[in-house]
Amino acid sequence: MNYLGHFILSHPNQELVTGNFIGDFVKGNDYLNYPEGISRGIKMHRFIDEYTDTHESSMHCKSLLRPIVGKLSGVALDILYDHILANNFSNHATYSLTDFAGSCYTIISERKSYLPLKGRYVFYHMKKNNWLCRYDSAEGIQTTLRNMSRRIQFENNLLHSYNIYLEHKDFINLQFERFFASLRTEVHNRFYPGL
């Protein structure tokens, strides 16, 4: 899952949203240097990443991407999963994608002091370019893939992953729904016990 997936699983808990956002920027045991709620969010981020990478549905989807995208199939799938989530947002939330994005941007803005330097840089661009809302369009997801491809230090075919998605859209969407339902249950059981 990319940012949208992490946020929908942690929202509206402000500390979990913040921890999920900075999860990629906090390494090793450094999560212990944060308040307990944000620390839980970082651990939740790591759990979501591991679960996504190893789930059977994700493995099936990555096998479709790997011949063209290679070792970046997991990166491509994370972005495509957010695209699917954005396009079916009303199936997973009781509010609009626009309102949800605004709420997430506000939560993180109010906790900016907890963001590592790289996280502040990423958040500035995320909010400025409204990354969360642009996941829902073909143009937006292709822009995301193009920008990600440019940041990778080696030649890659990441941008082609959208065409692969279109070729196998029904299958990948079905795999996403199976995966996301399972992930949501696991996250609830591990990070929201007793609710």
Question: 75-130, pLDDT tens digit by residue?
Answer: 999 999 999 999 999 999 999 999 999 999 999 999 999 999 999 999 999 999 99
Please give the DSSP secondary-structure letter assigned to residue 65.
H
CA distances from 140 to 25, 102, 135, 145, 146 (A): 24, 17, 5, 9, 10
| Residue 72 pLDDT exceeds 90 | yes
- Answer for the pair 143, 19: CB distance below 8 angstroms, yes or no: no
Q: What is the pLDDT of residue 71?
A: 96
User: Tell me, what's the pLDDT at 176?
Assistant: 98
Which amino acid appears at position 73 of this protein?
Answer: S
Assign 194 a pLDDT band (cuts: 50, 70, 90). low
Lookup: tokens for 57: 């549905």
- Alpha-carbon radius of gyration of the chain: 16
pLDDT category at 193 given cuts 50, 70, 90 is confident
Three-state SS at 194: coil
- For 120-169, how does the pLDDT look when each residue is reduced to its tens digit (9 = 90+)? 999 999 999 999 999 999 999 999 999 999 999 999 999 999 999 999 99
